[in-house]
Amino acid sequence: MKRFIPILGLLLLAIGGVSYAIAGAMQTYMAVLIWVGLLCMLLSFYISFSDIKNTLSKRSTKYGANTALMILVFSVVLLLTVFMSAKYKTRWDMTSTKRYTLSDQTLKLLGSLKKDIEVIAFYRSDERTRQAMHDLLSEYKHNSSRFKYSFVDPDKDPLIAAKYNVTSYRTTLIKSGNKEEVVGFESEEKLTNAILKVSRDEVKTVYFLKGHGENNILDTQNIGYKAVKEAIEKENYLVKEIILLSADDMPTDASLLIVSGPKKELLPDELKKLTAYINRGGNVLFMLDPGTVPGIVSYLKEYGFKIGDDIIIDTFSQVYGASYLTPVITEYDKDHPITKEFNVMTVFPTTRSVGVENDPAKGRYELAKTGERSWAETDKKAFKEGKVKYDEGKDKKGPVSVASVTAVEIGGSGHSGHNDHNKDTEGTKKYAKIVVFGNSNFANNQFINIEGNKDLFLNTINWLAEESDMISIRKKEIGNTPVILTATQGRLIFWLPVIILPSFVLVSGVGMLTRRRLKK
C-alpha cells in the first residue's frame, strides 16, 4: 500500500493536468483530481520520510542530486532564452521574393495611420487558408498599434456574419469610423488598398487629357492605358478624362493633369487654359514620345525643360535581352522625393531625352538617366536606315536624362522652388509642379508591370498629388519558386537519407552486437 500511494498521486495529477490542457478551462472534476493527487504525494512523503532521509544520505543520491541540479539550471537558462527571444525577437525573411515581408508601401501606410483600423476576417475554424490570413494580419498588427484584427467563424457566429452582410467564407471586413471595405482571399495588395480607402478622408481626382491622340485609358491592348487607370485607382484616386478645348477651365477638383503621348498639338486656347491651371498651383505630368508635338516641346522650354529631338540608343540594354531602343534605367536622383529611395531598374522603350539644369533651389532635378553606353541619336536618316552610331560633337553621350521635374512659383513669375507640399521652407509661397517623361510607352499595358515601371509612374503621381507618404516600392506578384535539381542531385537526395544513412546505422548496430557476443 505504501508503494502505491505515490503512483496513485502521480496518476491523478497526470489525468487532471492532461484534462485541463485539452479542455482549455478548469472544471470541478479536474480540480478534484489534481488536489487528491497532491494530497497523495504529501501523504506518501510523510509516511516514507525516514526512508527518504536515508536515501538522501547515500553517495549515489548526492551524485543524482548534482545531476538534477545541473538539469534544473539548464532548464532555467533555456526558459530564460525562450522568454528573451519572444520579447526581443528579430525576424528574417529568407525567401527570394520577400514573401513574408510587408511591402514598403504597406509599411509607410501603417506608419502614417491617424485612425484606428479594425479588421474582421470571416473564416471557418478548419479553413485551410485561415493560417495564411492570420500570418498576414499579424504582420500588419506588428507594425502598427492602430491596427486590430479578429477572426469570426460564420458557422459558429452567424449573427455577426449577418450583421455585416457576409455571405461567403474567406471574406475580410476592414472598418475605420463609419467607412467599411470588404476584400476576399489573402492578399496584401487588396488589404492595403482597403485600409487606404477607409483611412483617407479625401479622394483626389486625376485627369487624363483627351482629344489629341493620347493613350486610351480604356484600351486593353498592349498600347492601351487600362492597366495604368486601374493602378491609379488602387492608390485611392478617382480617374477622369477631360477635353480641354470644350471645357471652360480645368476643374477645381483636379489634383493633377496627365498629358500622355499626344500625337497632335494643343491649340492656343488649350495652352492658355493649361497655363492658367499651372499658375493657380496645378500639377501636370507630360509624357512625350520622340518626334511628336514640337509645339508642346517649345511650350515646356519656357519652364526650363530641354527636350531633345532625338532617340536614345543604349547598347547595354542588349545584355538584358532588350532592343537597343529600350534603354535600361538604373541611375536616379537621390535628392528628389520621387526617386530618393528608388533602387529598381526601369525600361523606357523608344524614348527621347528630357533634361533641365539641376538646381534644387528652383526645384529642378533630372530624375532618371540612361547608362554610360548610351547616347541621344539625332541623325534621323541613319536611324531609319539602321546605321546608328555615336557621332562626337553631334550626339549627346550618356548618361542621358529621360525624366525631369521643375517647380513653378504660382502667378506665372517663372521663378521655381521645391517642396514636397507645394510650399517653400518658410511656408509663404505655393508652387506648381511639372514632370516630363521622354516617352509614354513605359507605362502602357505591355510595359507597366516590367521591373520598376509601375513604381516610378505611381510615385510620380503620388508626389504630384501631394501624397508623398505613398511614394514607395510596391510588392511584386508572388510566383512559384521551384527547386530544380539535376538527375545526379535527385539520385543523391534519394540515396543519402533513404539508403546510405539507415544502412550505416544498421551496419554499426550489427557490428557492435557481434563484437559483444565474441567477447563473451
3-state secondary structure of 184: strand
**Cα angle 359, 363, 367; round to 5:** 80
C-alpha span between 262 and 284 (Å, rounded): 14
With CA atoms as reference, report the closest residue to 120 among 71, 64, 162, 66. Answer: 162
Q: Please tell me the predicted confidence (pLDDT) of residue 476.
A: 59
Under DSSP, the state recorded for 200 is -
pLDDT surpassing 90 at residue 55: no
Give the residue-averaged pLDDT of 146-169: 93
Give the residue-averaged pLDDT of 200-206: 89
Q: Please tell me the predicted confidence (pLDDT) of residue 214.
A: 97
Mean pLDDT over each residue of the chain, to the nearest integer: 85
CATH 3.40.50 fits 205-309+352-371+401-467, yes or no: yes
Domain ranges in the chain are: 4-87, 104-195, 205-309+352-371+401-467, 483-520
pLDDT surpassing 60 at residue 378: yes
pLDDT surpassing 70 at residue 275: yes
Output the nine-digit C-alpha cell for 188. 496584401
Q: Please tell me the predicted confidence (pLDDT) of residue 405.
A: 97
pLDDT surpassing 60 at residue 63: yes
Q: Please tell me the predicted confidence (pLDDT) of residue 70.
A: 78
Q: Please tell me the predicted confidence (pLDDT) of residue 427.
A: 43
Q: Please tell me the predicted confidence (pLDDT) of residue 29.
A: 86
CB 350 within 8 A of CB 439: yes
Please classify residue 25 by burial: count the beta carbons closer than 10 Å to its beta carbon, then call 0-12 exposed, 13-18 middle and 19+ buried. Answer: exposed
CB 326 within 8 A of CB 350: yes
C-alpha span between 368 and 88 (Å, rounded): 41
Q: What class, spelled out in words, does domain 104-195 have in CATH? A: alpha beta
Per-residue pLDDT of 414-447, as tens digits, reads 444 444 444 443 344 488 999 999 999 999 999 9
Which helix (H) or strand (E) segment is 149 a member of? strand 147-152
Give the residue-averaged pLDDT of 252-267: 96
Per residue, the 3-state secondary structure of 208-266, as one string, reads EECCCCCCCCCCCCCCCCHHHHHHHHHCCEEEEEECCCCCCCCCCCEEEEEEECCCCCC
Output the nine-digit C-alpha cell for 113. 495611420
Residue predicted with more confidence, 344 or 6: 344
pLDDT surpassing 70 at residue 311: yes
Integer-rounded Cα radius of gyration of the chain: 35
Q: How confident is the model at residue 28 (pLDDT cuts 50, 70, 90)?
A: confident
Per-residue pLDDT of 466-509, as tens digits, reads 887 777 666 655 555 556 567 777 778 887 888 888 888 888 88
Per-residue pLDDT of 399-415, as tens digits, reads 999 999 999 988 644 44
Strand partners, 117: 147
What DSSP string runs through 77-116? HHHHHHHHHHHS------STT-TTS--HHHHHHHHT--S-
C-alpha span between 277 and 279 (Å, rounded): 5
Please classify residue 61 by burial: count the beta carbons closer than 10 Å to its beta carbon, then call 0-12 exposed, 13-18 middle and 19+ buried. Answer: middle
Q: Please tell me the predicted confidence (pLDDT) of residue 14.
A: 84
Q: Please tell me the predicted confidence (pLDDT) of residue 401.
A: 96
Give the residue-averaged pLDDT of 348-369: 94
**Cα angle 511, 517, 520; round to 5:** 145
Angstrom distances, CA of residue 63 to CA of 68, 74, 77, 106, 430: 9, 17, 21, 59, 83
Residues 6+ apart with CB under 8 A from 229: 217, 218, 239
pLDDT surpassing 70 at residue 130: yes
Question: Taken in order 380, 383, 385, 388, is the CA torsion positive or negative?
Answer: positive
Residue predicted with more confidence, 377 or 76: 377
Rounded to the nearest 10 degrees, the angle between the axes of helix 49-56 and helix 28-47 is 70
Angstrom distances, CA of residue 392 to CA of 217, 369, 389, 395: 41, 19, 10, 6
Give the residue-averaged pLDDT of 387-395: 86
Q: To the nearest whole percent, how much of the chain has pLDDT over 70? A: 86
pLDDT surpassing 90 at residue 376: yes
Angstrom distances, CA of residue 183 to CA of 159, 193, 232: 20, 10, 18
Which helix (H) or strand (E) segment is 273 a member of? helix 268-279
Q: Which residues of 475-508 are buried (b: 16+ CB within 10 A; e: fewer)?
A: beeeeeeeeeeeeeeeeeeeeeeeeeeeeeeeee
Per-residue pLDDT of 206-244, as tens digits, reads 999 999 999 999 999 999 999 999 999 988 899 999 999
pLDDT surpassing 60 at residue 119: yes
Q: Please tell me the predicted confidence (pLDDT) of residue 156.
A: 92
Sheet holding 374-377, edge to edge: 311-314, 374-377, 396-397
Least confident residue range of 194-198, 216-220, 243-247: 194-198
